[in-house]
Structure 1
Amino acid sequence: MANYGNELVGTSPAVEALRRLVERIGGSPTRTVLIYGETGVGKGLVARMIHQMSSRANRDFVDINCAALPANLMESELFGHEKGAFTGAIDRKMGLVEAADHGSVFLDEIRELDLTLQAKLLTLLDTQQFRRVGAVKPVKVDVRFIAATNKVLLSEVTSGRFREDLYYRLQVVAVNLPALRERGEDVLTLARHFIARFNKTYGRTMRGLTPETEQIFLRYAWPGNVRELENLLERIFILEDEDMILPRHLPDRILRSVSGQSDPIAAAPLMRSEDYHVATDSFQRAMIGQAMSQANGNPQEAAKALGLSRHALRHQMIKLGLLKS
């Protein structure tokens, strides 16, 4: 999670709209929320905000990384186990889902969850019940599940790596987090926020960015998003002594990236036709995936947003392997 406090920092229209959406979701009774966003945009932060704005705020918020453990250990971690359920199970263990009763569970990197566990999660979402490993009787819980992914889940469904029924069950309410490069001058607001925080942490009096550095920050694409910005500034606090952040304090990769933006076509190597088609297909998949997400899986609405007929969208999805004919 991008560690910039317990609220969204920024004044861009994208962030203002996101604040309103998070507040609306937090106050609703929905039991499932799906958060989309690139690595480092703050999906964990938004999940915690949804919890804090809900009637569950005084109960536990349990953060689970679905990629952290292999499937056999993850099942016990999620649902717990009975004594003697397997070798080494010398006592009954409460799982994280049970520990979050009347609170919220955040399932980060939901795409990485094993298909067998996806089926058990679907049953839990539908019934609000689960069985500990080795148990006979089910345990009933009242939990809100907030899942997050940096993948286009519809593509994962098509490839067989994610259950279609679970996808639609989670997709009841979808939140799309904007990338930092889409947030305009929020990058400077965030930089000032981090500088103030690191001044306290490191006992410094850093005054901020020079105008030249500000221009670089505004032009850079920030592929690692808020997390990349935060880590960069902390590195500068550790390694540099000046009271302003200068262009020479920035990594070469950032300076090269920005200097190459004046004429990216000329600077690029000659592209082969197969490269062009691969890149085009990849872009179209991403656009369709985003449109479907924003339309909560409704093909009619997604087609309208893309300026296509429903028939044309279906044809394109079949062509790109996103839908079976």
Structure 2
Amino acid sequence: MKHARLQPALIGEHPSMVALRQLIARVARSRANTVLIYGETGTGKGLAARMLHALSDRAGAEFMDINCAAIPAELLESELFGHERGAFTGAVSKKEGLIEAANGGTVFLDEVRELDHVMQAKILTLLDTRRFRRVGAVSPIDVDVRFIAATNKVLLGEVKAGRFRDDLYYRLQVIAINIPPLRERGDDIFLIAEHCLAKYNEHHGSRMRHLDDDVRAVFRSYQWPGNVRELENLLERICLLEDGERVRIEHLPARILREVGRAPAAEAAAATALPERGFHAATRAYQASLVTQALARAGGNLAAAAKTLGLTRHALRHQMAKLGIAGAGSD
């Protein structure tokens, strides 16, 4: 399976990702009608569900992606099961539900733990009988779908807390797939980063192709609470806002640098100055660092550096003279 055919979240050569892709392929070809996917936010649970569908003999039918947390509880039953005309106020015509529309295909229940107990019971009945009723209907409808549920919480803990039905949990838990967090995937982070840079270069017309060595060190040390999604968003922002062909450490957010013990240059300069010379020296060092960084990014262009700092060119020149920073640059 080549990386080019995969989305970023499923790219990787770490043993855990190789095993994950093998498991997805095996489950996809099986007759299993329920699959439960675990994974932290941003690991790619939805992509794994789509891969399960695409590799199965159901690929020619619909894949219905349903975010259980995004649909109000009072509307969810009608969305899933449909309704008959006159079933409730506003039901002016018969409506086919998402499950019926997915007949022969796959229904993906993302954040399944957000279902209330009433809907949990209805889903359990559907899984057991393979039939359901539209809201306001008398006759049941038979349906053949594979249900894939996903959660970023350990469902057994939700069961013990009384928030999730134990019978539905065991019905969904027949086959469980765990997606590892990015921080546990070693050098896969660099394969994903390269893939993302190539994608965003093509999409945005940028030229970022490489990660500096100190950036690679930060990427390996950072915990990535938002996982692959966080990495993708960071690299897209850099491709949009920064110039050049290399991702440099100054392109990274200060919060990431602080978390891995690499304080931004301005903060480091101020911290160094403070114990020895006090508040005013620290402030001066901080200001000098800001001006120097802005000038470097602007290639010495005063107008561009001033705009970055929110100053006029005259004010920037005044600050440079006060701070002892040489070079008028070009306007």
TM-score by length of 1: 0.78
Within the candidate set 116, 134, 137, 1:135 is matched to 137
Contact 1:63–1:107 (Cα < 8 Å) also in 2: yes
Q: Give the Cα separation in 1 of the matches to 2:109 and 2:203.
A: 30
Contact 1:79–1:94 (Cα < 8 Å) also in 2: yes
Within the candidate set 192, 209, 212, 1:210 is matched to 212
Question: Which deviations, in whole Å up to 9, do the C-alpha atoms of 1:48-103 show, x marking residues without a partner?
Answer: 00011110011110000000122120000000000000000000000000000000
Q: Note if 1:200 corresponds to 2:199.
A: no
Which stretches in structure 2 are left out of the alignment for 5+ residues? 1-5, 264-331
Q: Does the residue aligned with 1:67 lie in a helix, a strand or coil?
A: coil
Contact 1:75–1:117 (Cα < 8 Å) also in 2: yes
Contact 2:42–2:229 (Cα < 8 Å) also in 1: yes
Aligned amino acid, residue 236 of structure 1: I
Report the CA distance between 1:127 and its aligned residue.
0.5
Within the candidate set 178, 181, 193, 1:191 is matched to 193
Q: Give the Cα separation in 1 of the matches to 2:48 and 2:209.
A: 29
Q: Does the residue aligned with 1:214 lie in a helix, a strand or coil?
A: helix
> Map of 1:147-166 to 2, 5 A cutoff?
147-166=149-168
| Greater relative contact order (CA < 8 Å, ≥ 6 in sequence) | 1
> Map of 1:9-20 to 2, 5 A cutoff?
9-20=11-22
Contact 1:76–1:95 (Cα < 8 Å) also in 2: yes
Question: Which deviations, in whole Å up to 9, do the C-alpha atoms of 1:242-267 show, x marking residues without a partner?
Answer: 22100111111110111179xxxxxx
Q: Give the Cα separation in 1 of the matches to 2:262 and 2:152.
A: 27
Q: Give the Cα separation in 2 of the matches to 1:47 and 1:76.
A: 23
Match of 1:257 in 2: 259
Report the CA distance between 1:114 and its aligned residue.
1.2
Match of 1:8 in 2: 10
Within the candidate set 39, 44, 47, 1:45 is matched to 47
Question: Which deviations, in whole Å up to 9, do the C-alpha atoms of 1:263-290 show, x marking residues without a partner?
Answer: xxxxxxxxxxxxxxxxxxxxxxxxxxxx
Q: 1:6 to 1:126 in 2, by over 3 A?
A: farther
Contact 1:36–1:177 (Cα < 8 Å) also in 2: yes
Match of 1:281 in 2: none
Within the candidate set 163, 179, 183, 1:177 is matched to 179
Higher mean displacement: 135-144 or 203-212: 203-212
Contact 1:6–1:49 (Cα < 8 Å) also in 2: no
Count of residue correspondences: 258
Q: Give the Cα separation in 1 of the matches to 2:190 and 2:109.
A: 31
Q: Give the Cα separation in 2 of the matches to 1:165 and 1:260.
A: 49
**Greater radius of gyration (CA):** 2
Which stretches in structure 1 are left out of the alignment for 5+ residues? 262-325
Q: Give the Cα separation in 2 of the matches to 1:6 and 1:254.
A: 21
Q: Does the residue aligned with 2:261 lie in a helix, a strand or coil?
A: helix
Match of 1:116 in 2: 118
Question: Which deviations, in whole Å up to 9, do the C-alpha atoms of 1:98-117 show, x marking residues without a partner?
Answer: 00000000000000011100
TM-score by length of 2: 0.76
Match of 1:104 in 2: 106
Match of 1:318 in 2: none
Contact 2:207–2:244 (Cα < 8 Å) also in 1: no
Q: Give the Cα separation in 2 of the matches to 1:100 and 1:69.
A: 18
> Map of 1:231-246 to 2, 5 A cutoff?
231-246=233-248
Aligned amino acid, residue 110 of structure 2: D
Q: Give the Cα separation in 2 of the matches to 1:8 and 1:242.
A: 28
Q: Give the Cα separation in 1 of the matches to 2:47 and 2:98.
A: 19
Contact 1:6–1:45 (Cα < 8 Å) also in 2: no
Match of 2:314 in 1: none
Report the CA distance between 1:6 and its aligned residue.
8.2
Match of 1:268 in 2: none
Match of 1:323 in 2: none
Question: Which deviations, in whole Å up to 9, do the C-alpha atoms of 1:207-233 show, x marking residues without a partner?
Answer: 211111111111111010000000000
Match of 2:146 in 1: 144
Percent of aligned pairs with the same amino acid? 62
Q: Give the Cα separation in 2 of the matches to 1:134 and 1:49.
A: 35
Q: Does the residue aligned with 1:11 lie in a helix, a strand or coil?
A: coil
Match of 2:72 in 1: 70
> Map of 1:244-283 to 2, 5 A cutoff?
244-259=246-261
Q: Give the Cα separation in 1 of the matches to 2:8 and 2:227.
A: 17
Q: Does the residue aligned with 1:106 lie in a helix, a strand or coil?
A: strand
Match of 1:314 in 2: none
State the Cα RMSD in Å: 1.3
Question: Which deviations, in whole Å up to 9, do the C-alpha atoms of 1:263-321 show, x marking residues without a partner?
Answer: xxxxxxxxxxxxxxxxxxxxxxxxxxxxxxxxxxxxxxxxxxxxxxxxxxxxxxxxxxx
Match of 1:227 in 2: 229
Q: Give the Cα separation in 2 of the matches to 1:119 and 1:215.
A: 49
Report the CA distance between 1:181 and its aligned residue.
0.4
